[in-house]
Amino acid sequence: MNARVEQKLNEQIVKESSSSQFYLAMASWAEANGLNGTAKFMYTHSDEERFHMLKLVKFVNERGGKAIIPSVEQPPQEFDNLERVFELLLEHEIMVTESINEVVDVCLQEKDYSTHNFMQWYVTEQLEEEALARTILDKLKLIGQDKGGLYLFDRDLENAAIAPEAAGPGAGN
């Protein structure tokens, strides 16, 4: 495996691992604050990010590189309010998108078309992640501080059929 590509993929492994921990902290905060729907959403999102990390680990190792498993960084434990949680989620997903784009750029520079092809799944996934975060934020802004609206929003998240992308193109990678 190309050394530059391997380094960028290992950096992405760190970001995906951090994302999983960040969303896990959000889930715990939400659960502790009686927001069971938001907690369920964030637990699922945390699992999805871990899946993204594992997919990268397996890919690097199968291509002859060495995936580096990162240490766990302490995520924040407290959040101002529900809207801020989803603002942070969107900001974080935008950062991950930029990082994915950097990996893709290095793949093209190094003419590593196999990894470039593999990374297209992540490019598509990030479009979906950002769109979902924006949609949720739009709903929260409409609700404002209406407690009844927040209750219904949280209940809707709890009942939503949002599941991690456990299977998809290259799921075995």
Q: Which residues are annotated as a binding site for Fe cation?
A: 16, 49, 52, 93, 126
With H, G, I as helix, E, B as strand and everything else as coil, classify residue 81: coil
In contact, 53 and 16? CB cutoff 8 Å = yes
Query: To 10 degrees, what angle do helices 82-109 and 113-143 make?
Result: 160
Residue numbering of the annotated binding site: 16, 49, 52, 93, 126
**Amino acid type, 121:** W
| Helix, strand and coil in the chain, % to nearest 5 | 75, 0, 25
Q: What is the CA angle 96-118-97, rounded to 5?
A: 15
